[in-house]
Structure 1
């Protein structure tokens, strides 16, 4: 059974999954906040119940000196070493389930990489006041079982969220629910803010 993480909580992925994890998926999801449509607009087709929001999921790889090793995002869907693959950009957040997924082969992540930080930023510029039901979750690829989930509770004027970190500690992989607000439409703009939380 998956654990629901609180902000700041850290867990061992192997303990929560009941064994060593080798391949995982970080699934990220969100919905555009429902905007009420007036009766008149609805009658004349002038309104819509939901705006699309283009949030982008990214994964930044850091070494033990907190230097960037690689960045996986909509502009580079695969890490240079091939251990991490982004399944592609979702530009609306419409539909059920994960809106974007990043697949990680933990056994193939290079030894010099200490942590993987997962973020979401609003490429379309809307703030998280217009986003609801945002979450990230780790899924065991071998059996499709959800290991852990972190659901965002904070809405506000920020345009990015530093969601979670998966990192090596004493020979095992752990997950830390960071849940910090950020500002920036792109992952490059977010990098200095991520480093503070490493």
Structure 2
């Protein structure tokens, strides 16, 4: 049984898996009277306010990052689009905007779920028939850098849907992002 937390502390936030970059803001919010931290629980990644299953895209930040209507910033995991000032950056922003702006997206989490900038990392699905049934975020993990074979099929509930990362790569506006020292991501093999 998880002991009820009576006070918001940096130690407790670290214990439940909150990234260091978010801790000062959460502590300040707690001092100012925010009580939502009491709902965080023992696993921050299960908090649907911080890690939603879906949402409507309101703002496109760059070619691989956007913001949902609830303020959650999402970075497309597994690919890297040109950044500001780089060649094709404007095209990447326009294409991502055409794909997701003011539309509902479904977020599928993988072994890495957030980054040092406080963004959620997710596979992004559009045009799904109904709410997709995703495999668990730790599905690929056998060990730190070993993985199961990757996925090639769309998830149940999104058979006619599209994977945004794949669409960006087909348009030549994103490249596969891999790390030798990390394990493979769910759809990494599909994007090769």
Normalized against structure 1, the TM-score is what? 0.25
Higher relative contact order (CA 8 A, sep 6+): 1
Normalized against structure 2, the TM-score is what? 0.26
Which has the larger strand fraction?
1
Which has the larger helix fraction?
2
